Amino acid sequence: MKFYNRDDELNILKRADKLKNNHAIMTMIIGRRRVGKTTLALQDFSSDKTLYFFVSKKNEALLCEEFSEEIESKLGVKLFGEIRKFEQLFEYLLELGKKEPFTLVIDEFQEFYRVNSTIYSTIQKLWDLHKDESKIHLIACGSVYSLMKKIYEDKKEPLFGRIDFKIDLKPLKVSVLKEILKDHNNYSPENLLDFYVLTGGIAKYIELFVLYESFDAKSMIDEIIAPHSLFLEEGKNRLIEEFGKEYGTYFSILSLIASSKTSKTEIESILEKNISGHLSRLERDYNIIKSIKPMGAKENAKVQKYEIVDNFLAFWFRFIYKYKSIVEAEGYERLKRIIERDFSTFKGRFLEKLFIELLKEKQIYTSIGNYWERGNKNEIDIVAVDEIEKKLLLCEVKLSAKRLSHDALVLKSVNLLRKYEGYEVEYRLLSVEDIEGF
């Protein structure tokens, strides 16, 4: 699959690459698993040589053996003697960088915690000692969000303040998903919505569906719910390492959010325990959920809902984790019938998200969100505010245009409009057909 739409990120890497000729540069690339960090880091943005180290869960000496082979192969040098410590290898590279500029990509950088946690102190010590003379660009990639933030953003950690550039790699935008579908002659507004729901713009999922030539809901779900499918264990593979021993509680919370239990009160009443700390960590440390307040609400307002940031994870918790007993019994056809029954209701929420993403891409509104009042009354699917031009866009969103009502939308907006007195108001009714040309 061709490389799509990472121009801003590539420009950062190109800039860092040029600056390394003045002194060593360190770039951090973080982002959820499968989003395309490694592919980005290995793009051809430099005319200098590139080393690629993957930090697997191995003994330090074995990793050094692998890294030594990569150095000899890519840089054309010969290492003498057995190197068993990363400290020796890293100092050698910094010295080598004083003679020849190159890029060093270290993938799954957070895994050094498991190998030897003192490696970060070693990197800090040697970096500070040699960076003014060495001409290397160190790119540290990591997918365990909480650990990467700790390594570089915790004041108590040795590498705090050492990065020169940070790339928080996001999923591909809706407009790019549309381009991909068109490139494969499978674009339609319905397919775009389903492609958005089931990939969420995550590069690896897109790559797999392109490989399988699956672009509509039925064929994608057939690939997801199948014997030996790579998708069936995806939630566990991505999150258990993040959550550790408490993963059961976190999974229960995410499963409830995916099943439309989106308020703290609802979740706590079902789990019968206080989950304030869990919700806070899911949002701030793990970046897996986000809290949403009604547009126009005060900063300290307690009225809020939660949603899972990643579309595919929302699908996984709603259908695969929830019905894990069916998966374990290999009842794939039965699970597909359940999904077929409930998928339309499930994806209705994502049509709102899709239109919000398209509005964000227009870059004409200062804030975009949802609106509701206590008791989930007077819900408005999309509220877009332009504080500069004093304009307000209110949208009702439904899968079927037949269920849309202009009068109902106007009636629900009465209290909201009091907060935006003097604004020019536009009402829009949006369904799947309106994706085209939006």
Residue pair 137/145 in contact (Cβ under 8 Å)? The answer is no
Q: Which residues contact 155 (CB under 8 A, 6 or more apart)?
A: none
Question: What structural domains does the chain harbor?
Answer: 7-168 (3.40.50.300), 234-329 (1.10.10.10), 364-435 (3.40.1350.10)
Kindly state the average pLDDT of the residues 23-31.
96
Pairing assessment for the beta strands 102-107 and 49-54 based on DSSP bridges: parallel
- Whole-model pTM: value is 0.89
Whether 173 contacts 4, CB under 8 Å: no
Mean per-residue pLDDT, 331-352: 95
DSSP β-bridge partners for residue 191: none
Q: Which of 389, 387, 383, 388 is nearest to 427 (CA)?
A: 383
Q: How far is the first Cα of the chain from the last one, in angstroms, to the nearest whole number? A: 27
- Whether the pLDDT of residue 341 is over 90: the answer is yes
User: Which residues, in sequence order, are bridge partners of residue 397?
Assistant: 430
Q: Rounded to the nearest 10 degrees, how much is the dihedral formed by the CA atoms of 229, 349, 299, 367?
A: 100
Reading the block at residue 39, the tokens are 């592919």
For the stretch 169-224, pLDDT in tens is 999 999 999 999 999 999 999 999 999 999 999 999 999 999 999 999 999 999 99
If we measure between CA atoms, which residue out of 77, 123, 94, 74 comes closest to residue 23?
94
Contact 111, 79 (CB under 8 A): no
Is pLDDT above 90 for 4? no
397-405 average pLDDT score: 95
Residue 411 neighbours by CB distance under 10 Å: 10
Joined together, the tokens standing for residue 172 give 């591909």
Token digits of residue 404? 């849309």
Mean per-residue pLDDT of the chain: 94
Q: Backbone dihedral region of 414: left (phi > 0), alpha (psi from -120 to 50 degrees) or beta?
A: alpha
